[in-house]
């Protein structure tokens, strides 16, 4: 071996080069095979969300004080959604917009959550916190709370994303959870309640009611609509 | 990666430099092989999406930058660093983990400049990395950012940009300009319309193209470390000004020509103006720095 060749193939370079060549050639097909092996399949709702029964929400009734927000399935990325405006039975003036969405395509990237969507229409997210809410048999979980300024209006939004029977308050948490192999099937659903904090009520009052609607509607969703945990394996 | 030299940062002899160039090329090809599917995806995206098209220009900018700095090449090779293989391992690990089990497109794409940096550090060491750093930065800036991720990143700065543009247009006599949400509406004598519809989703992608032009303009010559720091400090305001110039041009053109909100002509003219402002906005402070603080040879990168 000449001196140049010896320099070219110094032991450390030779080791690095061989390792990188093997990785460069072998890793992409290996990863494709592993992904295909562990790929999750979509699972359907037990009942479509279009059949969601608003009369079953115990402490709220529907109201026509607001028209339900018009929803474009293309922007939601799913045909499975439900939207309605409720008011608490004890409060004639309150309006709480409920939006339920369901996704089951394993290739779906999770849509933007309100903190991004609302900014896209010029609103300002003033505060992003979380609070505990009882979510059916999942127990007390953290849900996201957003305080948003939309012109002179103070909007309050609470939402939770449930993936395969686990509740999350951040989109990235769901993305991480979805990647973990295990279950054969996959889905995620977002339960979102939006309201305006009115002048004659405190933020805490509005938040309590929004969380209550979130909790009660999720309970119905879990009971009759979402896939059963046992069917996911 | 040459171990015949005693000092780690010592410049290599010509024969060793040739060997190092072959070694670097070999490792870079391995890195490109690893990310070949993503690379093909990015090129395909750039061919159909104007917002990502600057990726196609990046190789030309990198080649020009290399050519302009070629005289520094002899001094840009030193003994390879053991951190190089670690960087290669890190880049490979990011690529693998962001493919499976997790599906994170953006960090996976960023594995490319990390891998290339690792290849350079492994073979020609820190001097080599310093020489190639602007080119690696151009590689990173050429990577298209996914729409959802980009909107989350850009929406706030773009909102402020639109507010500034609205304020500037509103002072023109006879023009009444309002910002509602993220849409700018204008009324003039006998005309009304919308400006720069959907900017935070689409046009703002040009920020990366403008940043690439700025890196190119500043690093066209090898600069001392002080100039690099100045670039980092001044770069962001220049980028913001260039973006304001871009949207302002779209606004002025739309109002004067009575264009439709989604007409491509004002968008194209705005983009060109933004790129020109980014280029000259970088050249001017760079030239002032060069005149005021002429670098000594020891000072250079």
For residue range A185-219, what is the model confidence (pLDDT) as tens digits? 999 999 999 999 988 889 999 999 999 999 999 99
pLDDT, average across residues B201-209: 74
The Cα diameter of chain A in Å comes to 92
Rounded to two decimals, the pTM is: 0.82
pLDDT confidence of residue B294: 64
- DSSP track, A116-140: HHHHHTT-EEEEEEEEEEE-GGG-E
User: pLDDT-derived band of residue A162, with 50, 70 and 90 as boundaries?
Assistant: very high
Does the structure show a pLDDT above 70 at B204?
no
Helix (H) or strand (E) holding B288, with range, is helix B264-292
CA–CA min distance B25, chain A (Å)? 11
Check CB contact under 8 Å for A24 and B100: no
Mean pLDDT estimate for chain A: 89
- Give the whole-number percent of chain A exceeding pLDDT 90: 61
ipTM field? 0.80
CB contact under 8 A, B96 and A38: no
Instruction: Say whether A122 and B181 touch across the interface (CB within 8 A).
Output: yes
**Mean pLDDT to the nearest integer, B43-72:** 90
CA–CA separation, B147 and B203 (whole Å): 11
Is residue B35 scored above 90 in pLDDT?
Answer: yes
Cβ distance B125 to B79 under 8 Å?
yes
According to the model, what pLDDT value does residue B103 have? 84
Tell me, what's the pLDDT at B201?
58
- B301 close to B130: Cβ distance less than 8 angstroms: yes
Are B144 and B156 in contact by the 8 Å Cβ rule? The answer is no
Residues 207-266 of B with CB under 8 A from A: none
Residue among A31, A119, A176 minimizing CB distance to B99: A31
Residue of B nearest to A149 (CA): B181
Contact residues, chain A, for B183 at CB < 8 Å? 122
Q: Dihedrals φ, ψ of A166, to 5°? A: -125, 135
Contact between chains at A180 and B101 (C-beta distance less than 8 A): yes
Rounded CA-CA distance A112/B228 in Å is 37
What are the angstrom distances between the C-alpha of A142 and each of A132, A145, B46? 5, 9, 40
Q: What is the pLDDT of residues A167-193, one digit of tens each?
A: 999 988 898 888 888 889 999 999 999
Q: What mean pLDDT do residues B34-62 have?
A: 92
Please compute, for residue A30, the number of CA atoms within 13 A of its CA located in the half-sphere on the CB side. 10
pLDDT at B50 (0 to 100): 79
| Phi, psi torsion values for B122, nearest 5 degrees | -65, -40
pLDDT of residue B272: 93
B100–chain A nearest CA distance, Å: 6
Subunit contact B30:A21, Cβ cutoff 8 A: yes
Interface of B with A in 51-90 (CB under 8 A): 80, 82, 84-85, 88
Report, as an integer, the average pLDDT of B13-22. Answer: 84
């Amino acid at each position: 071996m000449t001196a140049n060749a010896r320099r070219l193939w110094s032991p450390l370079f030779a080791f690095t080069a061989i390792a990188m060549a093997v990785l460069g050639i072998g890793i992409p097909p290996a990863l494709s095979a592993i992904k295909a092996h562990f790929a999750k399949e979509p699972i359907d709702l037990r009942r479509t969300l279009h059949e969601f029964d608003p009369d079953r929400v115990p402490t709220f009734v529907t109201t026509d004080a607001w028209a339900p927000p018009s929803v474009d399935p293309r922007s939601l990325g799913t045909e499975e959604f439900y939207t309605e405006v409720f008011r608490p039975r004890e409060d004639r003036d309150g309006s709480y917009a409920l939006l339920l969405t369901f996704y089951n395509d394993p290739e779906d990237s999770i849509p933007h959550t309100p903190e991004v969507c609302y900014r896209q229409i010029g609103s300002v997210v003033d505060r992003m916190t979380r609070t505990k809410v009882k979510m059916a048999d999942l127990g007390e979980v953290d849900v996201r709370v957003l305080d948003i300024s939309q012109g002179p209006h103070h909007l309050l939004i609470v939402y939770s994303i449930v993936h395969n029977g686990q509740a999350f308050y951040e989109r990235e948490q769901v993305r991480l959870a979805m990647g973990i192999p295990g279950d054969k099937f996959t889905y995620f659903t977002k339960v979102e309640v939006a309201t305006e904090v009115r002048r004659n009520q405190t933020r805490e009052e509005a938040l309590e009611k929004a969380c209550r609607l979130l909790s009660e509607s999720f309970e119905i969703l879990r009971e009759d609509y979402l896939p059963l945990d046992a069917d996911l394996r | 990666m040459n171990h015949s030299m005693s000092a780690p940062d010592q410049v290599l002899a010509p024969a060793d430099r040739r060997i190092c160039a072959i070694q670097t090329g070999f490792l870079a090809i391995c890195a490109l092989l690893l990310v070949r599917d993503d690379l093909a995806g990015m090129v395909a995206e750039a061919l159909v999406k104007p917002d990502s098209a600057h990726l196609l220009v990046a190789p030309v900018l990198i080649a020009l930058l290399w050519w302009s700095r070629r005289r520094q090449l002899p001094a840009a090779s030193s003994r390879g660093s053991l951190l190089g293989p670690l960087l290669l391992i890190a880049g490979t690990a990011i690529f693998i983990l962001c493919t499976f089990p997790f599906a994170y497109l953006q960090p996976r794409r960023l594995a490319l400049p990390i891998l290339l940096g690792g290849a350079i550090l492994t073979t020609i060491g820190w001097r080599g990395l310093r020489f190639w750093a602007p080119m690696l930065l151009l590689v990173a800036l050429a990577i298209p950012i996914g729409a959802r991720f980009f909107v989350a990143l850009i929406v706030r700065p773009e909102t402020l940009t639109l507010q500034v543009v609205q304020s500037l247009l509103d002072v023109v006599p006879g023009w009444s300009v309002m910002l509602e949400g993220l849409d700018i509406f204008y009324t003039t004598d006998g005309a009304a319309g919308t400006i720069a519809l959907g900017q935070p989703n689409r046009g703002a992608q040009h920020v990366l193209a403008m940043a690439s032009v700025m890196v190119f303009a500043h690093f066209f010559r090898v600069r001392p470390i002080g100039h690099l720091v100045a670039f980092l400090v001044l770069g962001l305001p220049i980028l913001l000004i260039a973006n304001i110039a871009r949207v302002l041009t779209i606004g002025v053109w739309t109002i004067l020509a009575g264009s439709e909100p989604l007409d491509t002509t004002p968008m194209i003219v705005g983009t060109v103006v933004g790129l020109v402002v980014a280029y000259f906005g970088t050249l001017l402070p760079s030239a002032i720095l060069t005149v005021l603080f002429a670098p000594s040879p020891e000072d250079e990168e």
